Amino acid sequence: MELQSFYRDTWAEINLDHIFYHVQSLINILPEEVKVFAVVKANAYGHGDVQVARTALSAGANFLAVATFDEALSLRQKGIKAPILILGATRPQDAALAAELDLTLTVFQLDWLKQANEELNKSKRLRIHLKIDTGMGRIGIKSGKEIEEIEEYISEHSAFYLEGTFTHFAQADSLDKTYYNQQLSTFEELLKSFKQRPEIVHSSNSAAALRYPEGYFNAVRFGISMYGLTPSLEIEPELPYPLKQAISLKTKLVHVKKIQKGEKVGYGSTYEASGEEWIGTLPIGYADGWIRKLQGQEVLVDGQRVPIVGRVCMDQTTIKLPSSLPVGTEVTLIGSQGAEYISVNEIAKKLETINYEVTCMVSNRVPRVYIQGGEIVEVSNGLIS
Ligand code: PMH
């Protein structure tokens, strides 16, 4: 018997047309010389690395960016040949394999270069971007002296090609531009320390790319808004084009029952029926990223908003239904149903977090169904393939 792509009534839908649209819309507002990194780390913020990478590249993105070596390797193994920048720290002992796989590494220590130099096969140069910390306080060099030392070391060691340099903003998603301006001027000042400025200079994340042309240099790193999500609620009114959320999260009723006044639901029996009520059970739980703090959150069924009652379990969630509905009825947890809509931002608000965290949390147990031109074009399942 031929296997199907998945065997459960819970799935995420990813609208690839929306991702294409956001990349294209960004390119439309950028000057021609400014290139685009599509940031597809963390499995493309939960949307699926290779599917998003392919879509972004076909919409005109020039490069990909991920956080870790394994993420880059995953893309190469799935056939992606485009340049990939690893934004986080890579171990020096992995430098040779990085060069072999044509991955670009982020560097921010002279010692790292010395160690990596021992590993590298001198016939294959390693492309690197120098990370400058202008106020984010994570990784990056902080002084012109370090730039000079690193540039000199690289000029004497042919194993490396210093292709780029970049920094990252801590507050580009704020309405207050003060800290952004400080970081930008620190970056501009430090860039003067290069004897030869690298070919690719970049600083902007989505928030900066969509609002602050003065920080473009010649590339931007486009993450959250490629997925149709605003970098923060406060800057949403300032965005240059409307965003269309790419992800939806759906499930189906697997059980429907009537309970009587006083009957209880879920671990800890935190919910008690106040009269005769209909309860529906959904096959999704905290192991899918649908976490316990979502108790009380509304979901969409039969075009209406209904609440989650009782505690969310590892694999199941219970909702209060307006009436008896058939098993198999579709339930939307994120996305639209009829005239109703639940945004990622609504879930983020309930969880007292940001939209980034909500999409990253959808676990690999949830199959991803890819939609393009209104049709299912691919299904991916992190568990079986
Ligand atoms: N560049 C770097 C170095 C990043 O860390 C990120 C996002 C981006 C670009 C893309 O930013 P955007 O999604 O706002 O467009 N990094 C993270 C992070 O580490 N935590 O939340 C977002």
User: In terms of domains, do 328 and 356 share one?
Assistant: yes
* Residue 232 lies inside a defined structural domain of this protein: no
Q: Which of 85, 91, 160 is nearest to 122 (CA)?
A: 160
- Asked whether the beta carbons of 168 and 136 are under 8 A apart, the reply is yes
Domain annotation covers residue 332? yes
- Ligand 1 centroid–CA 151 distance in Å is 26
State percent of the chain over pLDDT 70. 100
> Is there a contact between 194 and 8 (Cβ–Cβ < 8 Å)?
no
Q: Which atom of ligand 1 is found nearest the CA of 45?
A: 13
227-270 residue pLDDT tens: 999 999 999 999 999 999 999 999 999 999 999 999 999 999 99
- Residues taking part in catalysis: 41, 267
- Percentage, residues of the chain above pLDDT 90: 97
- Average of per-residue pLDDT across 109-136: 94
In a domain, 21, yes or no: no
Q: How sure is the predictor about 385, in pLDDT bands with cuts at 50, 70 and 90?
A: confident
Cβ atoms of 385 and 312 within 8 Å: the answer is no
206 lines ligand 1 (CB under 6 A): yes
User: Which residue, 194, 227, 260, sits at the end of a domain?
Assistant: 227
Find the 43 Cα to ligand 1 centroid distance in Å: 13
* 250: its two tokens: 């759906």
Look up the domain containing 98 and give its range: 31-227
Is 202 strand, coil or helix? strand
Q: Which two tokens stand for residue 30?
A: 């950028």
Helix (H) or strand (E) holding 151: helix 144-156
Q: CB burial class (10 A; 0-12, 13-18, 19+) of residue 52?
A: buried
Whether 376 maps to a domain, the answer reads yes
Claim to verify: residue 45 and residue 154 sit in the same structural domain: yes
Q: What is the pLDDT of residue 121?
A: 73
Check whether residue 187 and residue 272 sit in a common domain: no
Q: Which of helix, strand or coil describes residue 198?
A: coil
Q: Do 254 and 173 share a domain, yes or no?
A: no
Q: Does one domain contain both 139 and 282?
A: no
Can you give the pLDDT at residue 285?
A: 98
Question: pLDDT-based confidence at 192, cuts 50/70/90?
Answer: very high
Task: Work out the average pLDDT over 346-368.
Answer: 98
Task: For ligand 1, say whether the CB of 37 is within 6 Å of any of its atoms.
Answer: no
What is the distance in A from the centroid of ligand 1 to the CA of 212?
Answer: 16
Distance, CA of 364 to CA of 47 (rounded, Å): 10
Q: Per-residue pLDDT for 49 more than 80? A: yes
Task: Assess whether 295 and 206 both reside in one domain.
Answer: no
Q: Please answer whether residues 222 and 209 qualify as being in contact, where contact means their C-beta atoms are separated by less than 8 angstroms.
A: yes
8 domain-assigned: no
**Are 143 and 280 part of one and the same domain?**
no
Three-class SS of residue 62?
coil
**Which of 45-59, 114-128, 346-360 is predicted with the least confidence, judged by mean pLDDT?**
114-128
State whether the beta carbon of 230 lies less than 6 angstroms from ligand 1: no
Is residue 235 assigned to a domain?
no
Q: What is the 8-class DSSP label of residue 125? A: P
Write out the two tokens for 254.
């697997």
Strand locations in 47-159 (E)? 63-66, 84-86, 103-107, 126-131
Predicted local confidence at residue 3, as pLDDT: 85
Are 50 and 150 in the same domain? yes
Q: How much is the pLDDT for 188?
A: 98
Domain count, the chain: 2
Beta carbons of 27 and 36 less than 8 angstroms apart: yes
Ligand 1 closest atom vs CA 225: 15
Among 141, 220, 207, residue whose Cα is nearest residue 180? 207
Say if ligand 1 is within 6 A of residue 168 CB: yes
Q: Are residues 165 and 203 in the same domain?
A: yes
* Residue 123 scores a pLDDT above 80: no
Do 206 and 120 share a domain, yes or no? yes
Ligand 1 pocket mutation, candidates 43, 168, 222, criterion most atoms within 8 A of CB: 168
Angle, helix 49-58 to helix 16-29, in steps of 10 degrees:
40
Average pLDDT of the segment spanning 270-293: 98
Alpha carbon of 205 to ligand 1 centroid (Å): 6
Residue 22 lies inside a defined structural domain of this protein: no
Instruction: Report the separation in Å between the CA atom of 348 and the middle of ligand 1, taken as the mean of its atom positions.
Output: 17
User: Are 160 and 269 in the same domain?
Assistant: no
Which amino acid residue places its CA nearest to atom 7 of ligand 1?
223
DSSP string, 249-273: EEEE--EEEEE-TT-EESGGG-EE-
Q: What is the pLDDT of residue 42?
A: 98
87 CB near ligand 1 (under 6 Å) = yes
Which of 26, 36, 39, 201 maximizes ligand 1 atoms within 8 Å of its Cβ, making it the mutation to test the pocket?
39
Residue 124: alpha-carbon gap to chain centroid: 31
| Final residue of a structural domain among 227, 260, 292 | 227
Confidence category of residue 136, pLDDT binned at 50, 70, 90: very high
Assess if residue 185 is contained within a domain. yes
The finding on whether 35 has its CB within 6 A of some atom of ligand 1 is no
CB-based contact 99:73 (threshold 8 Å)? no
Instruction: Report helix, strand and coil shares of the chain as percent, to nearest 5.
Output: 30, 25, 40
Q: In 3-state terms, what secondary structure has residue 206?
A: helix
Is 122's pLDDT higher than 90? no
**Residues 142, 282: one domain?**
no
Helix (H, G, I), strand (E, B) or coil at 232: coil
Locate tokens 């507050």: which residue? Answer: 171
Domain boundary among 174, 193, 227: 227
Q: How high does pLDDT run on average in the chain?
A: 97
What CATH number corresponds to the domain at position 116? Answer: 3.20.20.10
Q: Mean pLDDT over residues 195-206, rounded?
A: 98
Ligand 1 centre from 383 Cα, in Å? 27
Three-state SS for 197?
coil
Q: Which atom of ligand 1 is nearest to the CA of 222?
A: 15
Longest dimension (CA), the chain: 80
For ligand 1, the distance from its centroid to the CA atom of residue 234, given in whole angstroms, is: 18
344-350 contacts, C-beta under 8 A, 24 or more apart: 344/229, 344/245, 344/247, 345/229, 345/230, 345/233, 347/294, 347/297, 350/293, 350/294, 350/296, 350/297
The answer to whether the CB of 40 falls within 8 A of the CB of 49 is: yes
- pLDDT value at position 1? 83
Locus of tokens 């070919």: 199
Any ligand 1 atom below 6 A from CB of 22:
no
Give the pLDDT of residue 170: 98
